[in-house]
Amino acid sequence: MKRTSFTKDACPVARSVQSVGDWWSLLIVRDAFAGKRRFGEFQKSLGVAKNVLTVRLKKLVADGVLKLVPASDGSAYQEYALTENGCGLLLVIAALGEWGCGGSEVHLVDRKKGKSVRLVLRSEDGRTLAPDDVQLVPVSHAEPRSKRARQPAP
């Protein structure tokens, strides 16, 4: 009677959820993108219990999302930094942020110019698409251009 695991699941979404699909992990990653690196910074920002934070950080490190780096200032302690892989989660955070908007309190900017940045879907030929123009296809057992496309609800 164990909890079902998706680590072996074929779908990448399922595997991602396995890594960051709980309450805290994504928020920790969000804070990491916002520049936080120290245990205490996360703890204060999130208001999470320290033991819980410890467990989450360890899992994120084990999953290759964060890594421990020696130090950045003179401190004798270690800091948590995003791995290259973890940086890829920016798209996820960005997408969640755009979706949750309604009094947006966080957004993306170009680091060089400080200009606002948005997340868009782009087809191979360079066109920008709306979510409605796009269909999710499970590659495993499906003909790429199946006729039973998603119905947008009549």
60: helix, strand or coil: helix
75 touches a second copy by CB under 8 A: no
Q: Could you tell which of a second copy, DNA, none binds residue 39, using a CB distance below 5 to 8 A set by kind?
A: DNA
Least distance to DNA from the beta carbon of 41, Å? 7
Nearer to a second copy, 47 or 74 (CB): 47
* Of positions 13, 54, 62, 64, contacts a second copy by CB under 8 A: 13
The candidate with the shortest Cα–Cα distance to 78, out of 40, 28, 26, is 40
CB 29 within 8 A of CB 85: no
Round to whole Å and give the CA distance between 112 and 75: 29
The 3-state DSSP class for residue 153 equals: coil
Taking the complex as a whole, the smallest distance from the CB of residue 94 to a second copy amounts, in Å, to 7
| Residue 8 binding a second copy, by CB under 8 A | no
